[in-house]
Amino acid sequence: MGWLVAHAANRRAAMLWEMVAGAGIRSIVVNVPGTWPPTRIRGAMISGFPIPGVVRNPPGVEGSQYLGVVVAPGDRNGMVPTAVAARDGEGRLRAEVAIGEALPDPRFPIRHYLIDGLLRHHLLSGVTKRLPIRIDPGEDESSQRLEIDGRELALADGAWSDWLETDAFGIAARFRVRRIGEGALYLTPPFQDPDAPELAFASDPRVRDEISKRGMYVVEGAGWKGAVDPDLHDALFEHLVEVEEQHVDATRALSSMIGDWGLLVHVFTLTDRVSHGFWHVNAPEASGGTRGEGGEPGPRVPDAYRWVDRRMGELLGEIGDDAAVVVLSDHGFQADASAGYGAHRIEGIFVASGPGIRPSAERLQLGILDVTPTLLALLGLPVAADMDGKVADAALATGRTPRSIATYEGQGGSEERSETAIDETTEEQLRGLGYLK
């Protein structure tokens, strides 16, 4: 009923993979919004956003939990918080980056709502995690030597570090660093280590082990609102692509691990995040802005769609021609001139191909409530009488009226209304993604 209760415990309706499980069908579900915390299913699941953070925002640094931090010789007044570095006697830049404040420990036996409230609103200070950073004077343009949290490394302009480990109040966390100019760095938000996750992101330990052994996995990357900061256009786009690459790699791994799956659901979020954040770059005149001196809009929005198209082609190539494929979006995009970036357009797309699909060049009139009944009919399963949507018969080649049952409810979700509220780190994530003001 709203993002403030965007927690899987609040879900009362059966999900598609829960409906098909009754017919013995195994499912692979990756990155579907609203599935955190993940539940054990017949198959494998990796949850999607929103997911709580490793730490909460440090006091006085609004938004850093999901936007990241820039280290620079001077204050930039950008959207992403800046840690100003000062020169020492040897000409080195030094800074301390506050990456987060400790969350109140829910396991602590003595609690009081007043103390929790004071901590929540930073009226009572907790312990802040700080990373010491040293940037040496550049000897040449190709590389710059750094020391971050005691680790020495060298970065060329525009290059990323490996994933660096840190301890966030007893929680194993990782972050990356990108050099964005002379004496300036971008640090991603801290994300939990998939090898030792504080927050479950997979449906069972076997799934988690399969994903964590393949390297870093981030459920939700840095918030797209960081794209408003012009210094970070390249860094943010590259970061979002890498996170999406992790998601695709996870789906490919699970499809090999569970070879007899009958339903695979993968949500690409790259096109959403990039269209939100970079629409004003791609079409500035539509957002109330003007083109720069180059005259051409930035290519990041079409690049995101091309990237997803390539990866989807690779997935389909591995799956084979005997699977029916549905490409579905829950909305489209358009300019939001008042806000200056991309906003949701109510119309989305539904494209289907493969066995059981009737080829046609005619456009279907299809609503989002018709999707689940249509997919159930495509799988040869009954449609529930209490569903508000209907089967898109024009899309199916079967020519048969699907069987009907009274309901699928009771096969998933909670039978009683739950009011589990999201925590403040989840709330901050949703703000960084533009879902909350």
pLDDT digits (tens, 9 = 90+) for 260-280: 999 999 999 999 999 998 887
90 & 228 share domain? no
* Total number of domains constituting the chain: 2
Residue 122 Cα distances to 117, 126, 127, 129, 300, angstroms: 8, 8, 11, 15, 38
The pLDDT value given to residue 435 = 78
Mean pLDDT of 377-404: 89
408 & 341 share domain? yes
- Candidates 434, 365, 353; CA nearest to 393 is 365
Instruction: Name the more confident of 211 and 104.
Output: 211
* DSSP H helical ranges for 225-364: 233-257, 270-282, 300-319
172 and 178 Cβ atoms separated by less than 8 Å? no
37 & 140 share domain? no
The pLDDT value given to residue 1 = 65
Q: What percent of the chain has pLDDT over 70?
A: 85
Max Cα distance, the chain (Å): 81
Instruction: Name the more confident of 157 and 78.
Output: 157
What is the three-class DSSP state of 107? coil
Distance of CA 408 to the CA centre of its chain: 29
375 & 351 share domain? yes
Judged against a pLDDT cut of 80, whether residue 43 lies above it is answered with: yes
425 & 330 share domain? yes
The pLDDT value given to residue 5 = 83
- CA separation for the pair 388, 285 (Å, rounded): 40
- Candidates 77, 76, 54, 57; CA nearest to 67 is 57
Residue 226 Cα distances to 222, 266, 333, 407, angstroms: 8, 25, 19, 44
136 & 183 share domain? yes
Mean pLDDT of 313-320: 92
CA torsion, ordered 145, 146, 152, 156, to nearest 10 deg: -50
The pLDDT value given to residue 291 = 41
The CATH number that applies at residue 237 is 3.40.720
Judged against a pLDDT cut of 60, whether residue 89 lies above it is answered with: yes
Per the prediction, the chain carries an average pLDDT of 85
413 & 363 share domain? yes
User: Confidence band (pLDDT; 50, 70, 90) for 418?
Assistant: low
Q: Considering 165, 196, 227, which residue would you say is the last residue of a domain?
A: 196
The pLDDT value given to residue 292 = 40
Judged against a pLDDT cut of 50, whether residue 71 lies above it is answered with: yes
Mean pLDDT of 301-324: 93
Q: Considering 172, 196, 220, which residue would you say is the last residue of a domain?
A: 196
The residues, any chain, with a CB within 8 Å of residue 57's CB and separated by 6 or more, are: 63, 64, 65, 100, 101, 425, 428
Judged against a pLDDT cut of 60, whether residue 32 lies above it is answered with: yes
* DSSP H helical ranges for 106-232: 113-120, 205-212
Lowest mean pLDDT among 109-118, 150-159, 393-402, 411-420: 109-118
- Candidates 42, 113, 13; CA nearest to 372 is 13
- What is 324-368 written as a DSSP string? -EEEE-S-EEEEETTTTEEEEES---EEEESTTBPP-SSPP---G
Structure tokens at 79: 């959207």
pLDDT digits (tens, 9 = 90+) for 92-136: 899 988 888 776 554 444 445 555 555 555 555 567 888 999 999
The pLDDT value given to residue 61 = 60
77 & 203 share domain? no
92 & 162 share domain? yes
- CA separation for the pair 117, 123 (Å, rounded): 8
Q: Considering 196, 225, 255, which residue would you say is the last residue of a domain?
A: 196
376 & 284 share domain? yes
Which amino acid does the sequence have at 435?
Y
pLDDT digits (tens, 9 = 90+) for 151-206: 999 999 899 999 999 988 888 999 999 999 878 999 999 999 999 999 999 999 99
82 & 4 share domain? no
Which amino acid does the sequence have at 131?
L
44 & 142 share domain? no
Mean pLDDT of 372-390: 94
pLDDT digits (tens, 9 = 90+) for 216-244: 999 999 988 888 888 899 999 999 999 99
DSSP H or E segment with residue 192 = strand 191-192
pLDDT digits (tens, 9 = 90+) for 55-69: 877 766 655 568 899
Query: What's the domain range around 83?
Result: 54-196
